[in-house]
Every structure is written in structure tokens, then in C-alpha cells.
Amino acid sequence: MSETRRGASRGQEPPLGAERARWIPRRRKDWVLPAVIVRRLRDRRVRMPLYAAAGLVLAGAAWIAVTGVLARNELLAAQRSLQTLRQHLAQPAAAPATAAGPPAAPAATVQDTVRDATGHAARAHRLTTGPAWFPAAHLPVLGGPFRTVRGIAEASDRLTRDVLPPLARTVAELDSTGTDDGRHLDLSALRRVAPLLEQASRSASRVRADVDGLPHGTWLPATDRARTELARQLDRITPLAHDAAAAARLMPSMLGADGPRRYLAVFENTAEARGTGGLPGAFAVLRAERGRLSFEHFGNDTELSEAHADVDLGAEFNGLYGSAAPTRTWVNSNMSPHFPYAARIWAAAWQRHSGQRVDGAFGLDPGAVSGLLAASGPARLPDGSAVTAHNVVDLSERTSYALHPEFKRRKAYFLDVARAVAIRLLGASTDPTRRTALFSALHRQLGEGRIKVWSGHTAEQRELVARSFGGALPGGSAPLAGLVVNNAAGTKLDYYLDRRLTWAPGRCVDGRREVTVTVRLANRAPASGLPPYVVQRLDDPSYDTRPGDNRLLVSYYASAGAILTGAALDGRSAQLSHGAERGHPVFTLDVELPAGAARTLVLHLLERPADQSAFVLRQPLVHPLRARALPSGPCTG
């Protein structure tokens, strides 16, 4: 062994030069730093910057941890304020005064809640900005959660600063009518807030897009859940902002700011299904002039049973519905799910009957009336009984047939209900203690499609048809799953109808997507005890039936360009008639649905590939459609 090696083994310094730089001592078989590096680390001039850098990293991490917890608390507080805001908008401000004084005005409460949410969101945004958060958010891989938290705080700040205050101001403007008698709406107030609402609508869209662009799947699941929750809230708020902006544009003219308007409001009885919801029964003529609303006439379906509508809705419409004579038979006027068709027929029929032109039409059902009465309070019938949010559906679609078996008396009763409800809602719309809650309830029912609106003025209708409350059958190439039933028996048994639909995309074949649609219909009508009028069959079938048996025309509205390759009813091959409406193939089957029975219809389709699930068309009946549209994706092979 050389002298150098022997000296090194006895703990002596190894020789200088290249050999020393390469030499790394062993101690208990563990590798350590090269000696040259160790010596440099002992150099104070090297150690101090390293310590300073390490200290900055630790301080930054501590700052992010502390401010992150504080920001989380502020965001949770802002979220609680938003929940309180929804409660304020959903409940009437008509609580009795207490010893502490009268209840706060709805507008003041809403604005205070918005200011509270704004303050919390602004503090959260400030806490997540600065020199520590910025570099942390831009770290490769590790920075995802920090970028998400910063984005959530900024989006919440913009939401509460740019979107909610204009909505709160609108509530304040509507609560203050600005008129001497307080009995009509101040349309100038809507026009004042219209520019603010337009800006809020655009801001809401930008915030929603920015949140969607934040990291979705990071190494910290809590931040992913927070982003998802914010996106869910924005999915509720953004349409509200869009609808508020549209209302500010449309309502002044539609409510008579530029001249008197008349509308036909039709109550649909969903105990007997029609394409837009239910059979058109009682109706009212509503007059609007400078924000003042009044009813000029109430009638029922018998009044318009002979009225013809001079409208031509095209060859496709006639091919699907011509045999039912919808333009000459009032009770069949809304077999199509496309509400503008029904509204045009109603308006033309009323003009033919009365000589009076209307500027538009509304359709609503007892489910919508229930939601509105929850905000307005109960209506009183001439006999002193109450029509409430809890009993109006059952009263108008089930109980009334047993209470009033005689035809004329029953029709008069329906008219009494319609008149009492309409007058109650009209009174609540001019009551500052009820108006905020009523408008909130109205927005919910419009969003659910239980209230539909059509205007005879082209510019207004162009906006209405693009919104859910326009009741339009969707156009375009996006996937569609549309189950529509029309009662073909003349019964009132659709009160007991349950509907389920599953849209399931499959593999791709020659550039097209296989889709399986499963429809399940169940007739929950009791075997006995129903009034004769409810179960009577007007279709005069050639086969034997029992009380409670029903019959439906079941139509499936498919995606544009879809091809039906096969169908089965309860496992047996079925032949469906083919048609088309507004660019969508329509496949229809006549289905007998016995009492207590369930039937399953399966359709096999080939559709154009798309990277999105189908839009589900939801026909509003007594029991809502239970639907599942499974995820889809583009065809890659």
C-alpha cells in the first residue's frame, strides 16, 4: 500500500489536487459530500446566502399556510352569505313586526348580504396575492393547488363585486315602485338597471370561463372540491344574471311601457298529457299598460272548442300532428313540444273567436302555480276555501273530479280556481313585501319550463326562443334525448304516470355513434275508486280495457341526423312511425298502458359522434321525468 493511502487510512489529509477532489471518504459504509464541497459550506460567505434562501422559502411556506387558512375562512364566510342571500330571495318578507321593530325591507336585507359577501371575498383575494403566492402558483407540478386557490379567491371577488351588486340593485329598484298608488311596476327602474345587468351578465360568463380554466385534478383534493363547488354555484348564478339582463331588456316593452299589450294566459292540465305539458283548459286575457296589470276575461276550453286557427306550421308539423287537427281542435293545439307552435295556434284561435289580437301567450301548469303561491300566499275561492301551494296540484288534477262530477259545475270550479289564483298573484306582484320572493319563484318556474312565454313581436321572440322559458325544441347538431307523451285515451290518468329515460352512448361504427335509449313508463293509477270521468276512454279501442287503463302516443325526439336501427317494446320487436320536427327525427309508438303496469321501450340508434352528453328534453308533467344521459366522447377510430 502506498504512503498516501496509508496516511489516509490513519485519518491524515489526502494529497491535494485532482486525486483529492475525487476522493470521497467512507464512514460506516455511508456516502457523504465531497470534501471540497464540505469545506466551501464551512465558508461563511457561502453559508449566509444559503441560510437566507432557506429562510425565505420557509417564511414563504409559513406565510402561504397562514394566509391560506385565513383565506379559506373568508371564502367559507362568503359562501354562507351567498346561502343567506338565496334564502332571502326565496322567502317572502312578510313576517310580522316584533318587539324589536318591523322586519327589514327585502331590498335592504339583500343588499346588506351582498355587501357582507363582497367584503369576505375581497379579503380572501388580498390574502392570496403577493410575492409568496405568485411563485408558489407557478411551480411545475406542485403549484396546481396554489394556482387553484388564487383563482377561486379572485373569481369569488369578481363575482361579489361585479355580478351580485347589480342583481341586488335590481331587487331594490323593483321593491320601490316609484308610483303614487304602488299598484303597478316601475318600468323606468328596470330600464335604469338594464346596462348594469348587461355588464353583470358578461362578467358572470367571464368568471365562469376562468374557473373552468383552473387546474381540475391537483395533488390536493380539497382545492379540487372547492373549485367544483364554486363552479356549481356559478352554474346557478350565471343563468340568473343572463335572465335578469334579458328581463331588463324585454319586460318594459312587454309590460306596456310603449303602449298597451294583451296576452293569452293558458292553464295546462297535466293530468292529461300534451306535448308542451298538459291539456289546455282554463285561460285568461291579461292586459299590461305602463306596468299596470289587469285581467279582462276568463274562460275555459269549452269556449274555444270550435275556434279555428288560421296558421300554417309547415309540412313536417302537419305530417306529425295533422290527423289530430291541432289548428281546429283546442284540446289538441299543443301536441308538439315546441311551445311557439302552440302559442301561435292559441293566439290565432282567440283572434278568430273574439276579433281581438294578442301580443303574446303564456302557458303554465298547476306545478308552476304551486311554486308561485308559495311566495304570494294562498288564494281564496268564492266559497271561502283556500287554494294553497300544498293543495293546488291535487285539487285541480285529482280531487276536483270527485268533488264535482257534473261537467258544467266542474268547469265552473276550474274557472273559479284560475280566477282566484290569477288575482292573488297579480296582487302579490304589486306588494313590496311579497314581490322579491314572487319574482324569485317566477324565475325558478321559468327555468324549470313550467311557465313558457311567446311574443308576437319578432325582436322579443328572437330573445325568448333562446331561453328555457321560450319552450322551444332545441335546434342544431348537439345530441338530444327527447321523450314526449301525448294522452291518446282522453283519460285524466297521467296524474299517475311515472317516466324514466336513459341515454347510453356506445361504440363507434363507421364514424357514427351507437346509442341505446331506454324508456320506462309506469301507470300508478289505483285499481278502483277513481271517478268515472278520470278513467273514461274516449278513444273507443277495439280491445277490452279495465278502468284505470291508459293509452299514450310515445314519441322520441332524437339528435339531428340520427338513424333508428331497431326498437323493442317489452323485449319484442316494435315498428315505430317516422317523422321530423325542426331538424330532429321523431319516432312514435302507440302504447297501451294498463293500470298498475310498466312497459319498457328500447331504441337503438346511430348518431353523429359528439364529445358531450345529450340534452334531455323535460316535458313538465305531474311527476318529473327521471333521466340519465351518460357521458359521451368523440369517435377516435
Tell me the average pLDDT across 365-383: 95
Q: Which three cell numbers stand for residue 156?
A: 369569488
Cβ density class 101-130: b for 16+ within 10 Å, e for less: eeeebbbebbbbbbebbbebbbbbbebbee
C-beta separation of 366 from 397 below 8 A? yes
Q: How many domains does the chain have?
A: 4
Q: Residue 227 to residues 156, 223, 363: CA-CA distances in angstroms?
A: 11, 6, 38
C-beta separation of 468 from 449 below 8 A? yes
> Do 453 and 523 reside in the same domain of the chain?
no
pLDDT at 476: 87
> Do 396 and 483 reside in the same domain of the chain?
no
Residue 491 lies in a domain: yes
Tell me the average pLDDT across 317-333: 96
> Do 453 and 560 reside in the same domain of the chain?
no
pLDDT at 174: 67
Share of the chain above pLDDT 90, in %: 67
Residue 138 has pLDDT above 80, yes or no: yes
Of the three residues 254, 284, 308, the one that is the final residue of a domain is 254
Q: Please state, in angstroms and rounded to a whole number, the distance separating the CA atoms of residues 438 and 436.
A: 5
Residue 81 lies in a domain: yes
C-beta separation of 105 from 93 below 8 A? yes
> Do 462 and 489 reside in the same domain of the chain?
no
> Do 31 and 126 reside in the same domain of the chain?
no
Q: Please state, in angstroms and rounded to a whole number, the distance separating the CA atoms of residues 154 and 156.
A: 5
Local confidence band at 205 (pLDDT 50, 70, 90 cut-offs): very high
Secondary structure letter of residue 377 according to DSSP = -
Residue 527 has pLDDT above 60, yes or no: yes
Local confidence band at 64 (pLDDT 50, 70, 90 cut-offs): confident
pLDDT digits (tens, 9 = 90+) for 166-193: 888 887 776 654 444 556 778 888 888 8
Local confidence band at 429 (pLDDT 50, 70, 90 cut-offs): confident
Local confidence band at 98 (pLDDT 50, 70, 90 cut-offs): very low
Spatial CA neighbour of 193 closest among 214, 215, 171, 212: 171
pLDDT at 47: 58
pLDDT at 20: 45
Of the three residues 191, 222, 254, the one that is the final residue of a domain is 254
Higher pLDDT, 132 or 603: 603
Max Cα–Cα distance, the chain, nearest Å? 125
Tell me the average pLDDT across 191-214: 93
CATH of the domain at 486: 2.60.40
Secondary structure letter of residue 94 according to DSSP = -
Residue 413 lies in a domain: yes
> Do 452 and 499 reside in the same domain of the chain?
no
Query: Computed from CA positions of residues 276, 278, 279, 284, in that sequence, does the dihedral angle turn out positive or negative?
Result: negative
Q: Please state, in angstroms and rounded to a whole number, the distance separating the CA atoms of residues 417 and 612.
A: 44
C-beta separation of 52 from 74 below 8 A? no
C-beta separation of 5 from 14 below 8 A? no
Q: Please state, in angstroms and rounded to a whole number, the distance separating the CA atoms of residues 216 and 202.
A: 24
Q: Considering the chain, what is the average pLDDT of its residues?
A: 87
Q: Please state, in angstroms and rounded to a whole number, the distance separating the CA atoms of residues 56 and 67.
A: 16
Q: Please state, in angstroms and rounded to a whole number, the distance separating the CA atoms of residues 299 and 116.
A: 49
Q: Please state, in angstroms and rounded to a whole number, the distance separating the CA atoms of residues 288 and 184.
A: 10
Q: Please state, in angstroms and rounded to a whole number, the distance separating the CA atoms of residues 159 and 306.
A: 53
pLDDT digits (tens, 9 = 90+) for 15-43: 544 444 444 444 444 555 566 555 555 56
* Residue 31 burial (10 A CB sphere; 0-12, 13-18, 19+): exposed
Secondary structure letter of residue 36 according to DSSP = H
> Do 328 and 385 reside in the same domain of the chain?
yes
C-beta separation of 105 from 175 below 8 A? yes
> Do 307 and 293 reside in the same domain of the chain?
yes
pTM exceeds 0.95, yes or no: no
Task: Quote the domain boundaries for residue 603.
Answer: 474-629
Q: Please state, in angstroms and rounded to a whole number, the distance separating the CA atoms of residues 18 and 6.
A: 18
pLDDT digits (tens, 9 = 90+) for 568-578: 999 999 999 99
Q: Where are the alpha helices (DSSP H) in 448-556?
A: 458-464, 532-535
Q: Which three cell numbers stand for residue 185?
A: 311596476
Among 27-31, 62-66, 79-83, 212-216, the range with the most confident prediction by mean pLDDT is: 212-216
> Do 446 and 501 reside in the same domain of the chain?
no
Residue 43 lies in a domain: no
Q: Please state, in angstroms and rounded to a whole number, the distance separating the CA atoms of residues 353 and 346.
A: 10
Residue 336 lies in a domain: yes
> Do 279 and 225 reside in the same domain of the chain?
no
C-beta separation of 178 from 186 below 8 A? yes
CATH of the domain at 332: 3.40.630
> Do 427 and 482 reside in the same domain of the chain?
no
DSSP 203-231: HHHHHHHHHHTS-SS-S-HHHHHHHHHHH
pLDDT digits (tens, 9 = 90+) for 453-493: 999 999 999 999 999 899 999 988 899 999 999 999 999 99
Q: Which three cell numbers stand for residue 103?
A: 322586519
* Residues in CB range of 54: below 8 A, 6 or more apart: none
Residue 45 has pLDDT above 80, yes or no: no
Give the chain's length: 637
For cell 351567498, the residue is 82
Residue 41 lies in a domain: no
Spatial CA neighbour of 156 closest among 199, 130, 197, 127: 127
Residue 635 lies in a domain: no
Residue 45 lies in a domain: no
> Do 478 and 464 reside in the same domain of the chain?
no
Share of the chain above pLDDT 70, in %: 86
pLDDT digits (tens, 9 = 90+) for 485-517: 999 999 999 999 999 999 999 999 988 999 999
Local confidence band at 126 (pLDDT 50, 70, 90 cut-offs): very high
Of the three residues 468, 501, 518, the one that is the final residue of a domain is 468
pLDDT digits (tens, 9 = 90+) for 576-600: 999 999 999 999 999 999 999 999 9
pLDDT at 52: 65
* Residues in CB range of 240: below 8 A, 6 or more apart: 167, 443
